[in-house]
Structure 1
Amino acid sequence: MTIRRESFQAHVQERGEYQTPQEAERAARVVLALLGAHLVGTVRAELAARLPETYALILLNPLQAAEPLPPERFVRATAAWIEGATEKTALWDIGAVLSTVAAAAGDVLTREVLLQLPPGYDLLFGHPQPT
């Protein structure tokens, strides 16, 4: 079941403690564009199906990644795409967006998404995996 755009954005805004919906929107767009470049096949399609259409399209038409970015580089890339961001604020943005994505996806799909990503993304999603 997909959640509505306003609901998704409100969750991101609440989790990120953003002052405005526009800040939450900007974070969601950047993080989902970068995430989409790392996912393929049915996992990406299933995740997109659980997101509001605006965000699903961003996930399905991502920036092209030459290689999967390790979590540290994903954070740096996010910081580079968000005006005025630092790695610390980017980490905050990523956590707000990806925890909302994980809630929309559910545990099973979140685990499948994490299997496509380099080690360490479990922490970015707020779903630490036992080692």
Structure 2
Amino acid sequence: MRLDWDAFIAAVQERGEYPSQQEAERACRVVLALLGAHLVGEVRSELAALLPEALAYVLLNPLQAHEPLPPERFIRATAAWIEGATEKTATWEVSAVLSVVADIAGEDLMNRILLQLPPGYDLLFGHPRPS
């Protein structure tokens, strides 16, 4: 079931402790655009179907990644796209968005998402896997 815009943004705003809805929206757009560049096929479509429509569009229409970014580079890319962000604040932003994504995705879809990503993303989604 698709989560509506207000519920999704409110969840990210709460999890990321953002003072404004606009900051939570910005984090969602940047993180989901970068995530969308890493996911392909049914997995990306299934995840998009769970997101608010405007964010589904961001996920489905990214620039394609030339290569999958390891988690550390994903964090650096996020920091580069968010004005004033550092790697530390970008880690917080990525985790705020991706943990909400993990909550709505459910275990089966999360497992398939993680199969498409380099090792270490499980921690960014807040779903650590035994190594």
The bucket for the TM-score relative to the shorter chain is over 0.9
Which residue is 2:87 aligned to? 87
Q: Which segments of 5 or more consecutive residues in structure 1 lack a partner in the other structure?
A: none
Which residue is 2:15 aligned to? 15
Distance in 1 separating the partners of 2:53 and 2:111: 22
Check if 1:122 corresponds to 2:103. no
**How many residues matched?**
131
- TM superposition shift of 1:51: 0.6
Alignment of 1:61-100 (within 5 A): 61-100=61-100
- TM superposition shift of 1:64: 2.1
In the alignment, residue 108 of structure 2 is paired with which amino acid?
A: V
Which residue is 1:59 aligned to? 59
| SS of residue in 1 equivalent to 2:8 | helix
In the alignment, residue 41 of structure 2 is paired with which amino acid?
A: G
Q: Which segments of 5 or more consecutive residues in structure 2 lack a partner in the other structure?
A: none
Which residue is 1:111 aligned to? 111
Distance in 1 separating the partners of 2:63 and 2:14: 26
Check if 1:39 corresponds to 2:48. no
**Taking structure 1 as the reference length, what is the TM-score of the superposition?**
0.99
Q: CA RMSD in A?
A: 0.5
In the alignment, residue 13 of structure 2 is paired with which amino acid?
A: Q
In the alignment, residue 45 of structure 1 is paired with which amino acid?
A: S
Distance in 2 separating the partners of 1:109 and 1:25: 23
**Taking structure 2 as the reference length, what is the TM-score of the superposition?**
0.99
Distance in 1 separating the partners of 2:92 and 2:23: 12
Distance in 1 separating the partners of 2:106 and 2:62: 22
Which residue is 2:30 aligned to? 30
- TM superposition shift of 1:65: 0.9
| SS of residue in 1 equivalent to 2:98 | helix
